[in-house]
Amino acid sequence: MLSRRTFLIAAAAAPVAGAMATPALADTPEIYAPKGIALKGYDPVAYFKDATDIKGDPAFATSWKGAEWHFATAENLADFAADPDRFAPQYGGWCAYAVANGYTAKTDADAWTIHDGKLYLNFNKSIRRKWLQDVDGFIARGDENWPSVLTA
């Protein structure tokens, strides 16, 4: 049997305990940037110019949309600075397949596709194979879901 004092202490603690058990809901950042570095340090311009994933050099860096972007050359940095929307990956660098399916997921720099002049990244090469089965359909769904998936 609870004493009045025990009951009052338990009643006072219940709202605090309930608040601690509730997960904090925070918006997902627009740019997927582990440790503040977009594309895990890979050069977004190189995907277009060199058709490959090339690690950028922190000596050639800029800040855009709250993330640091690295480039392999000063020329690539200048190209990005002149038109970042042209070179930045779609959906902030989050997995395009995931965004198309209503959620966010990290990406792998070597699981990428350029389609209609835009860069899309995927979680890994296995997911990229799924992505390639219906790129236009996934893009249509991804465009519908973006950016609302950041607050889902």
Are 89 and 99 contacting, i.e. CB atoms less than 8 angstroms apart?
Answer: no
Please compute the mean of the pLDDT values over residues 101-120 and round it to a whole number. 97
**Gap between the Cα atoms of 42 and 22, Å rounded:** 37
Mean pLDDT, the chain, as a whole number? 88
pLDDT of 21 reads 33
Question: Which pLDDT band holds residue 152 (cuts at 50, 70, 90)?
Answer: confident
Are 72 and 55 contacting, i.e. CB atoms less than 8 angstroms apart?
Answer: yes
**Gap between the Cα atoms of 28 and 119, Å rounded:** 20
Question: Which pLDDT band holds residue 14 (cuts at 50, 70, 90)?
Answer: very low
pLDDT of 27 reads 79
Whether residue 69 is predicted with pLDDT greater than 60 in this model: the reply is yes
**Gap between the Cα atoms of 37 and 4, Å rounded:** 56
Whether residue 141 is predicted with pLDDT greater than 50 in this model: the reply is yes
- Supply the DSSP string of 90-142, one letter for each residue: GGGGS-HHHHHTTS----EEEEEEEETTEEEEESSHHHHHHHHTSHHHHHHHH
Whether residue 46 is predicted with pLDDT greater than 60 in this model: the reply is yes
pLDDT of 26 reads 53
Amino acid at 113: T
pTM of the model: 0.82
